[in-house]
Structure 1
Amino acid sequence: MGDDTVAVETEEVWPDDSEDIEEAIVANWFVREGSVVTAGDPIAEIQIEKVSIDVPAPVGGEIVAVLVEEQDEFRRGDVLARISPS
């Protein structure tokens, strides 16, 4: 992936009252590599403790890489996927 991709991160959707929680799980991907999305489309569901949160696409474009698989843990600030803007 080159510099032309946009990282999908979770910092903006991380609940304010969960500042002390640093790990979550990707519960479900709503898209796959090659899917085309519009900015704001929900692309994944993450679970932070017992709270499920949808992660929106930060930009419109093609999902070129899914970096964290369903049911895998990730840390706050990790990149979940990359989008090539259209």
Structure 2
Amino acid sequence: MSDEIVAVESETVWPADSDDVEEAIVSSWFVREGTAVTEGDPIAEIQIEKVSLDVPAPATGEIHELLVDEQGEFERGDTLARISTDQ
């Protein structure tokens, strides 16, 4: 079993026109620790400036740990959560 990280990188979710913005907020989590997810499932909503975006699960597995609280700030590339996978 291994852990897959959930991080918001430029090439995944971060809007291209917000390259100069480095911080965002987790508006809400759609999952809790222990929730089973499938790769691509929306697991959180984030707010970057005035844009709300869904963050997809990068792998199939179980949410192991949420590292940023709702309304918590994070920076581009930070790990938001860990997903335990069977790989």
Please give the TM-score of this superposition, normalised by the length of structure 2: 0.94
Aligned to 1:84: 84
Q: Which runs of 5+ in 1 are unaligned?
A: none
1:4 positional shift: 1.4
Once the 2 structures are TM-superposed, how far is the Cα of residue 28 of structure 1 from its aligned partner? 0.4
| Number of the residue aligned with 2:37 | 37
How is 1:3-82 mapped onto 2 (pairs within 5 angstroms)? Answer: 4-11=2-9, 12-82=12-82
| Structure number having the greater strand percentage | 2
> What percentage of residue pairs aligned between the two structures are identical?
67
TM-score normalised by the chain length of structure 1: 0.95
Where has structure 1 moved over 3 Å in runs of 4 or more? none
The CA distance in 2 between the partners of 1:10 and 1:52, in whole Å, is: 13
Q: Shift in Å at residue 85 of structure 1?
A: 1.2
Distance 1:66 1:79 in 2: 9
TM-superposition CA deviations, 1:22-52 (whole Å, max 9, x none)? 0000000000000000000000000001000
Unaligned runs of 5+ in 2: none
Aligned length: 84
Residue type of the partner of 1:20?
D
Residue type of the partner of 1:47?
Q
Cα distance, 1:20 vs. partner? 0.3
Structure 2 counterpart of 1:78, one-letter code: D
How many Å separate the matches in 2 of 1:4 and 1:48? Answer: 30
